[in-house]
Structure 1
Amino acid sequence: MSFHHIVLHELILAIVVVLILVLLLIITVLGYSFYSYRILHNRHSWKQIIEYKIMERVVGSDGNDEQDREFSRHLKEPSFRILFLEILVDSGRKFSGTAKNAINRLFYDFKLEDEAWRKLRQRKAYLVAGGIQELAEMKVEAAIPEIKAKLNDDRTVVYQEAQYAMVTFRGYEGLEFLTHFDKPLSDWQQLRLLSSIHHIPELSDVQAYTWLKSTNDSVVIFTLRLIRKFRLMAFYTAVYELLDHTSTSVRVQAIRTMQAIENSATISQFIACFDQQPIDVQLEILKSMKVARSKESEDFLKEQLWNNAAVSIKIHSAEVLVVLGEGQYLREISQKADTYDELIQIIKHALQEKKC
Structure 2
Amino acid sequence: MYHHIALHELILAIVIVLILVLLLIITVLGYSFYSYRILHNKQSWREIIEYKIMETIVGNDDRSDSDKEFAEHLKEPSFRALFLDVLVDSDRKFSGGAKQSINRLFRDFELEDEAWRKLRHRSGYLVAGGVQELAAMNVEAAIPEIMAKLNDPRTAVYQEAQYAIVSFKGYEGLGFLDHFNKPLSDWQQLRLLYSIHDIPEQADLQVKDWIHSKNDSVVVFTLRLIRKFRLMTFYTAVHNLLAHPSTMVRVQAVRTLQAIEHRGTIQQFIQSFDLQPLAVQNEMLKAMKIAKSKESEHFLKELLWNHPQVSIKISAAEVLVVLGEEHYLQEVSQAGDTYDELRRIIKHALQEKKC
Return the TM-score normalized by structure 2: 0.92
1:115 positional shift: 0.7
Q: Tell me how far 1:254 sits from its aligned partner.
A: 0.6
1:187-224 per-residue CA deviation (whole Å, 9 max, x = no partner) reads 11111111221211211111111111111111111111
Q: Which segments of 5 or more consecutive residues in structure 1 lack a partner in the other structure?
A: none
Shift of 1:29: 3.6
CA change 1:42–1:311 in 2 (3 A) is closer
2:16 and 2:335 mapped to 1: Cα distance?
91
Q: 1:141 matched to which residue of 2? A: 140
Q: In structure 1, what is the equivalent of residue 265 of structure 2?
A: 266
Take 2:261 and 2:295, find their aligned partners in 1: how far apart are those partners?
Answer: 14
Determine helix, strand or coil for the equivalent of 1:203: helix
Whether the 8 Å CA contact 2:71–2:109 is kept in 1: the answer is: no
In the alignment, which residue of structure 2 is the partner of 1:202?
A: 201
Q: Secondary structure at the match of 1:204?
A: helix
Letter in 2 for 1:307: N
- Note the 1:168-207 alignment, pairs <5 A: 168-207=167-206
**Which residue identity does 1:276 align to in structure 2?**
L
- Give the number of aligned pairs: 355
How far off is 1:289 after superposition?
A: 0.9
Shift of 1:238: 0.4
Question: Deviation of residue 13 (structure 1)?
Answer: 5.7
Q: For residues 191 and 293 of structure 1, what CA distance do their matches in structure 2 show? A: 28
Gap change, CA 1:116 and 1:338, over 3 Å in 2: same
What's the counterpart of residue 236 of structure 1?
235
Q: Could you say which residue in structure 2 is the equivalent of 1:77?
A: 76
Unaligned runs of 5+ in 2: none
Alignment partner, residue 53 of structure 2: 54
Q: Distance between the aligned counterparts of 1:89 and 1:228, measured in 2?
A: 30
Aligned residue number for residue 120 of structure 2: 121
Q: Any idea what SS the aligned residue of 2:201 has?
A: coil
Instruction: Find the aligned partners of 2:33 and 2:311 in 1 and give their Cα distance.
Output: 61
Q: Deviations over 1:38-94 (max 9, x none)?
A: 323332333233223222221222528544332222222222222221121122122
| 2:185 partner letter | S
Q: CA–CA distance in 1 between the matches of 2:338 and 2:16?
A: 87
Inter-CA distance 11–280: structure 2 relative to 1 (3 Å threshold) = closer
**Which of 249-258 and 22-31 deviates more?**
22-31
CA distance in 1, matches of 2:47, 2:254: 52
Q: How many angstroms apart in 2 are the aligned matches of 1:327 and 1:18?
A: 78
Aligned to 1:154: 153
In structure 2, the CA distance between the partners of 1:72 and 1:350, relative to structure 1 (3 Å rule), is closer
Listed as ranges, the matches of 1:4-153 within 5 Å are 17-18=16-17, 20-63=19-62, 65-153=64-152
Kept in 1: contact 2:321–2:353 (CA 8 A): yes
User: Superposition RMSD on alpha carbons, in Å?
Assistant: 2.2
| 64 and 309 in structure 1: CA distance in 2 versus 1, 3 angstrom threshold | closer
Separation (CA, whole Å) in 1 of partners of 2:308 and 2:266 = 22
Distance change (3 Å), C-alpha of 1:252 and 1:8: closer
Distance 1:327 1:28 in 2: 71
TM superposition score normalised by structure 1: 0.91
Give, in angstroms, the shift of residue 183 of structure 1.
1.3
Q: What corresponds to 1:339 in structure 2? A: 338
Post-superposition offset of 1:233: 0.8
In structure 2, the CA distance between the partners of 1:9 and 1:140, relative to structure 1 (3 Å rule), is: same
Q: In terms of mean alpha carbon deviation, does 343-352 or 165-174 score higher?
A: 343-352
1:299 aligned partner = 298
Q: Return the offset for 1:98.
A: 0.9
CA, structure 1 residues 13+103, in 2 after alignment: closer, same or farther (shift >3 Å)?
same
Letter in 2 for 1:204: A
For residues 101-139 of structure 1, the C-alpha deviation after alignment (integer angstroms, 9 at most, x for no partner) is 011011111110011111111222221111111111001
Describe the superposition over 1:150-177 as per-residue Cα deviations: whole angstroms up to 9, x where unpaired.
1222222111111111111111111111
Does 96-105 or 194-203 show the bigger shift?
194-203
> C-alpha separation between the residues in 2 aligned to 1:192 and 1:139?
17
Offset at 1:9? Answer: 6.5
The letter for the 1-side match of 2:200 is P
Once residues 30 and 176 of structure 1 are traced to their aligned partners in structure 2, the CA distance between those partners, rounded to angstroms, is 53
Shift of the 348–34 alpha-carbon distance from structure 1 to 2, 3 Å rule, reads: closer
Q: Deviation at 1:305?
A: 2.2
Change (3 A) 1:240 1:24: same
Give the letter for the 1:280 counterpart: A
Question: Per-residue deviation at 1:10?
Answer: 5.6
Check if 1:254 corresponds to 2:253.
yes
